[in-house]
């Protein structure tokens, strides 16, 4: 039997429409048995740093709840922009997630090679933790500095800008310091390093006398007596450093800086997988075991729903982005 051209076209159209209509059903069916194999968690920073430390505690707890191994894959570079750019093209099948952290959210403002928009290029799942920051000084380099006012007075009295560092260009500590500098509080110059570890090493060595560091990196050095903490960058004092006053307590309210980390999936990941991981995360983050392990390394559990995480991503990207633009900050 010979099929006419018009009949062939009608048949082809019906077959195509049928396949398109079946795709959502097939997608949902494939997600129903999820997870059926190991999951990869991309961490856009080196092993041993705050993002990696938090991710490994979280991954271990999530693995137990999902019944599948979660493999941490460190892909550092350009404040997370390298990993995020690659992650955009990952299959949206629920088997690869990524840690999204403050420096990566701000990376597109600093790196021209960063083509992603953190508020629209991914599917937010949850906020996982808050990471307090602390301003600390090398006790040998600045023995007379005991608080923010004496630090800023020292910087303004110096013939050359007083050097400070942070975990990297675009870190919340970097932006907070630059914002205070723009208001005339200090005369300080940022020295950028590729990560918390080298920044801390040079602060301890006296190469740079001041660091605005995340608590995970700074806490051991403060407790060990090698650094003097002069302020925490949180609205309230933190439990692990109760004797260190906040910036607001010292007259610098509105310039606080804390980082945070959360979980995102590739755009198009099935909603039931996102909802499942979000709910599992909520339960993980109220468990005593995870709370204790987070506290030991200097971070605070902080769950948010996917929608609230999306709002936070947008707020940070636009709000801190304005600070970057207004102060002509670069990654140099």
* Alpha-carbon 200 to chain mean position: 19
For the full predicted model, state whether its pTM sits above 0.85: no
The pairing of beta strand 259-266 with beta strand 122-131: antiparallel
Q: What residue has token string 């947008």?
A: 314
Tally of helices (H runs) and strands (E runs) in the chain: 11, 11
Q: What residue has token string 């006398």?
A: 209
What proportion of the chain, given as a percentage, has pLDDT over 70?
A: 90
H/E stretch holding 214 reads strand 210-214
Class assignment of domain 35-131+258-326? alpha beta
In this model, does residue 33 exceed pLDDT 50?
Answer: yes
The pLDDT-based confidence of 48 (bands split at 50, 70, 90) is confident
CB 294 within 8 A of CB 54: yes
Burial 275-292 (b: 16+ CB within 10 A, else e): ebbbebbeebbeeeebee
What proportion of the chain, given as a percentage, has pLDDT over 90?
A: 67
| Fold: same for 35-131+258-326 and 133-250 | yes
Of 207-211, 258-262, 296-300, 301-305, the one with minimum mean pLDDT is 296-300
Q: Of 132, 116, 145, which is closest to residue 266 (Cα–Cα)? A: 116
Q: What are the residue ranges spanned by the domains of the chain?
A: 35-131+258-326, 133-250
3-state secondary structure of 193: coil
Q: How far apart, in Å, are the Cα atoms of 166 and each of 82, 173, 244, 260?
A: 20, 6, 19, 15
Distance CA 59, CA 47 (A): 14
3-state secondary structure of 57: helix
Superfamily for domain range 133-250:
Periplasmic binding protein-like II (3.40.190.10)
In this model, does residue 105 exceed pLDDT 60?
Answer: yes
Q: On the CB side of 163, how many CA atoms lie within 13 Å of its CA? A: 13
Predicted confidence at residue 167, as pLDDT, reads 79
| Cβ neighbours around 65 below 10 Å, total | 15
In this model, does residue 25 exceed pLDDT 50?
Answer: no
Q: How far apart, in Å, are the Cα atoms of 218 and each of 134, 199, 227, 276?
A: 7, 11, 8, 35
Distance CA 265, CA 241 (A): 34
Predicted confidence at residue 77, as pLDDT, reads 87
* Alpha-carbon 41 to chain mean position: 14
């Amino acid at each position: 039997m010979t099929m006419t051209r018009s009949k062939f076209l009608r048949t082809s159209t019906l077959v195509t429409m049928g396949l398109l209509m079946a795709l959502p059903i097939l997608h949902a069916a494939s997600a129903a048995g999820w997870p059926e194999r190991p999951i990869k968690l991309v961490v856009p920073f080196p092993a041993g740093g705050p993002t990696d430390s938090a991710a490994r505690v979280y991954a271990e707890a999530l693995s137990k709840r999902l019944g599948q191994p979660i493999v941490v894959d460190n892909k550092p570079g350009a404040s997370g922009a390298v990993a995020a750019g690659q992650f955009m093209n990952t299959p949206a099948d629920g088997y690869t997630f990524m840690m999204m952290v403050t420096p990566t959210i701000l990376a597109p403002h600093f790196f021209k090679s960063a083509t992603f928009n953190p508020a629209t290029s991914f599917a937010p799942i949850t906020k996982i933790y808050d990471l307090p920051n602390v301003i600390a000084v090398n006790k040998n380099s600045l023995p007379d500095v005991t608080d923010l006012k004496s630090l800023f007075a020292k910087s303004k009295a110096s013939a050359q800008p007083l050097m400070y560092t942070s975990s990297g260009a675009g870190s919340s500590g970097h932006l907070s310091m630059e914002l205070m500098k723009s208001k005339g509080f200090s005369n300080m110059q940022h020295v950028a390093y590729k990560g918390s570890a080298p920044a801390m090493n040079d602060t301890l060595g006296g190469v740079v006398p001041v660091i605005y560091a995340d608590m995970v990196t700074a806490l051991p050095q403060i407790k060990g007596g090698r650094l003097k903490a002069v302020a925490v960058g949180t609205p309230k004092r933190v439990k692990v450093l109760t004797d260190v006053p906040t910036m607001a307590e010292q007259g610098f309210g509105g310039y606080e800086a804390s980082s945070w980390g959360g979980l995102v999936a590739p755009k198009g990941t099935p909603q039931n997988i996102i909802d499942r991981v979000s709910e599992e995360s909520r339960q993980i983050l109220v468990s005593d075991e995870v709370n204790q392990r987070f506290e030991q390394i200097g971070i605070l559990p902080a769950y948010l729903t996917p929608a609230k995480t999306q709002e936070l991503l947008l707020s940070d990207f636009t709000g801190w982005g304005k600070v970057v633009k207004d102060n002509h900050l670069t990654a140099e």
